[in-house]
Chain A
Amino acid sequence: MFNFFSSTNIFLLIQKIIKFINSIFFLILVIGLTFALVLSPPDYIQGDSVRIMYVHVPSAWLGLACFSFITFLSILNFIFKIKNCYFINKSIAPIGLLFTCLAVVTGSLWGHPTWGTWWAWDARLTSMLVLMLFYVFYILVFKIIKEEELIIKISSIVAIIGSINLPIIKYSVEWWSTLHQPPSIKITGSSTIHSSMLLPLLVMLFVFMLYAALIFLMKYKTEIIRIKKKNIKRI
């Protein structure tokens, strides 16, 4: 059972998954873009500017999901000292930063025609900016510190402190009066988004998830090769 999780088996599996994602990615991207830019209807208030949602919302969700995952693995690593968590977190963090930056930038581009301003220091926007800064701190720990043990300790602390911000982001639109609209999609309870917009959003989310998986696997594969290179030197 544990032999299956050896770096060699993981490496071979990664090769196959990367090939699979590469083979279907372009097709799903074209379907997603067709839905987002052509087939989905304009909003009755926001008009065609609502199409920004199809890149803004998946970016924000993935930015949050990546940090949640990093926090979970940091806690695991902190308690059980699983070295793989360190490599997974190192590979995920840049992806999370990319998506958080994209959520902030596309949110700003959506805000200008909708609210009449590029930026406002409201709770949702500011908490997303704080998340972006936590990603930057987290990545800097890996870049600046050389000792692995110290990296694990400090990065875990940054992730755990940063995770306090996650519920703030989620509930900011309910706790405070913000420019940002309240959530349209709820896991528990009825969503206020029409299916003609929900479907393109889910397809685009799938495209973004595939892209995130592809980048993560490539980065993780690079980490495995780096370790194997060290082992070869020992021969």
Chain B
Amino acid sequence: MITEFISMNGYGLYVWLSFSIVFISCGIVYYKTRKTLKKYERDFLVELESLSIEDKKLALKTSKVAQQILATNSKIS
């Protein structure tokens, strides 16, 4: 039964190759997009850390985005 399912009546190569190409490509794009997002979040935090304490407080007070990125990354670390 499993052999039948894999062979798909002789069309297995085409069917499995199609599904594999789609899911591998989508996986690679997801991984690369996530990696870029994390890189930008880290760069943002480095930029935030480089500010003086006063400026950092001001940035965190005025920017919800900064608060969110800081909160997410501190959870991860």
Contact bitstring B61-77, A, C-beta under 8 A = 1, else 0: 00111101100100000
B11 to chain A, nearest CB (A): 4
B71 nearest CB neighbor, chain A only: A15
| A141 CB–B CB distance under 8 Å | no
Contact of A225 among B10, B18, B26, B41 (CB under 8 A): B41
Report if A55 contacts B (CB, 8 A): yes
Query: Is B30's CB under 8 angstroms from A12's CB?
Result: no
Size category, B interface: 35 or more
Residue contact B14 to A218, C-beta cutoff 8 Å: no
Q: Is A112 a contact of B14 with CB atoms below 8 Å?
A: yes
A232, B11: Cβ atoms closer than 8 Å: no
Residues of the B chain whose Cβ atoms lie less than 8 Å from the Cβ of A211: 26, 30
Residues 29-55 of A, flagged 1 when their CB comes within 8 A of B and 0 if not, give: 000000001100010000111011001
Contact of B43 among A7, A37, A38, A229 (CB under 8 A): A229
Interface residues of B in 14-69 (CB under 8 A from A): 14-15, 17-19, 21-22, 25-26, 29-30, 33-34, 36-37, 40-41, 43-44, 47-48, 51, 55, 58-59, 63-66, 68-69
Q: Which of B15, B19, B33, B65 contacts A11 (CB 8 A)?
A: B65
Set B21, B34, B41, B65: member contacting A8, Cβ < 8 A: B65
A198 to chain B, nearest CB (A): 19
Q: Which residues of B contact A38 (CB under 8 A)?
A: 5
Tell me whether B15 and A8 are in contact (CB under 8 A): no
Judge whether A222 and B40 touch: CB under 8 Å.
yes
Size of A's binding interface in residues, CB under 8 A: 43
**CB-based nearest B residue for A216:** B33
Given A15-B72, A228-B66, 6 more A-B residue pairs with CB atoms under 8 Å apart are A37-B19, A47-B8, A47-B11, A98-B26, A109-B17, A235-B59
A-B contact pairs, 28 of them (CB 8 A): A7-B65, A11-B64, A47-B8, A47-B9, A47-B11, A48-B8, A48-B12, A49-B8, A49-B14, A52-B18, A55-B19, A95-B29, A98-B25, A102-B21, A102-B22, A102-B25, A106-B22, A109-B14, A109-B18, A110-B18, A112-B14, A214-B30, A222-B37, A224-B65, A225-B44, A229-B40, A229-B43, A235-B51
